[in-house]
Amino acid sequence: MKEVVLAVEQLTVTLGTYAAVQEVSFSLEAGTDTAIVGPNGAGKSTLVQAILGILPRQTGNIFILGQPLSRKGSLAPQIRQQIAYLPQNFLVDRRIPITVEELVGLGWDRLRFQVPWANSRKRRHAVRDALAKVDALHLRQQPIGGLSGGETKQVLLAYCLVYPRRLLILDEAPAGLDMRGETEFYQLLYQLKQEEGWTILQISHDLNMVRRHCDRVLCLNRTILCQGTPEVALSPDSLSATYGSEFVRYQHRC
Ligand SMILES: Nc1ncnc2c1ncn2[C@@H]1O[C@H](COP(=O)(O)OP(=O)(O)OP(=O)(O)O)[C@@H](O)[C@H]1O
């Protein structure tokens, strides 16, 4: 059996008095790509933020690479370092004087104490490689405040990739990328999974993409209504339970 990278057991997350995520359980095996799908407000971002320890949970357990995430959201540093997260939105003060390569370099430095000149060659190469992988090497000396929305996404993905990790969590990551950028983005995810053994958990509204690229799907509407391969989880019955029967009729008309 493959290694379990993430295990979520009976997770409930309450926002105010509203149970946005209720009794959710699933696990991710190493080297797999899993999508979370569901309507707006279904609790997808809430679920991911609880897994990352950004939002507190009411009940349930979360294990990452076998290590428990504490109630307060802390995780052993050597495990935390194995996770990369690309959020839905990245708000940054455009006046911050930091270039693209400086930002990506922070992804390499993360959680390691070292003097600034140690490993500088290795670091420089890692930053260049990561930017080349996302086709953004030409942006390396630009201030981040001047980037377009799509370019910002590319650079943030380079920040995630600059250091080898085990788990990549994406919240509607390709939003804002053009058609070519989107195709290259999915090729890159496939490479990370196949060649480097990354495990991917991605929130998506693009069901066609999920059908083509993902190994497993979690259908969420506060609780998990179905999980399995795309054939099973994206069947008309499952979609109807997740989105409502109108949605399935609409899909058939398109
Ligand atoms: N304090 C609160 N009281 C009641 N409901 C809340 C509160 N805070 C958030 N919510 C609701 O909890 C839900 C959280 O949704 P979340 O952002 O996780 O959904 P999502 O599936 O990621 O949605 P989207 O696809 O639109 O990004 C939303 O419906 C939101 O309105």
So where are the chain's domains? Answer: 1-82+165-254, 90-164
Each residue's pLDDT, cut to its tens digit, for the chain (254 residues) gives: 789 999 999 999 999 999 999 999 999 999 999 999 999 999 999 999 999 999 999 999 999 999 999 998 999 999 999 999 998 877 777 778 899 999 999 888 865 556 656 668 888 999 999 999 999 999 999 999 888 888 888 899 999 999 999 999 999 888 778 888 888 888 889 999 999 899 999 999 999 999 999 999 999 999 999 999 999 999 999 999 999 877 765 665 55
Predicted pLDDT of residue 3 = 94
User: Which SS3 state, helix, strand or coil, does residue 125 take?
Assistant: helix
Residue 220 CA: nearest ligand 1 atom is 21
CA distance to 25, 122, 241, per residue, from 46 (Å): 14, 36, 20
Distance from the alpha carbon of residue 191 to the mean position of ligand 1, in angstroms:
32
CA distance to 13, 37, 75, 238, 250, per residue, from 53 (Å): 11, 21, 8, 29, 37
Ligand 1 pocket mutation pick from 14, 17, 46 by most atoms within 8 angstroms of CB:
46
Distance from the alpha carbon of residue 246 to the mean position of ligand 1, in angstroms:
22
Residue 88 CA: nearest ligand 1 atom is 27
pTM of the model: 0.91
Adjacent-strand bridge partners of 99: 143
Rounded to whole angstroms, the Cα distance separating 44 from 16 reads 17
CA distance to 7, 38, 145, 180, 216, per residue, from 219 (Å): 17, 6, 36, 28, 10
Distance from the alpha carbon of residue 41 to the mean position of ligand 1, in angstroms:
4
Rounded to whole angstroms, the Cα distance separating 188 from 206 reads 17
Q: The tokens of 87 are what? A: 């959020």
Q: Which residues line ligand 1 (CB under 6 A)?
A: 15-16, 18, 20, 38, 40-46
Rounded to whole angstroms, the Cα distance separating 7 from 178 reads 34
Residue 16 CA: nearest ligand 1 atom is 1
**Looking at the domain 1-82+165-254, which fold is it?**
Rossmann fold (3.40.50)
Terminal-to-terminal C-alpha distance of the chain: 40
75 contacts 254 by C-beta, under 8 angstroms: no
DSSP state of 101: H
Closest of 212, 248, 251, 222 to residue 23, by C-alpha: 222
Closest-CA residue, ligand 1 atom 8, reads 15
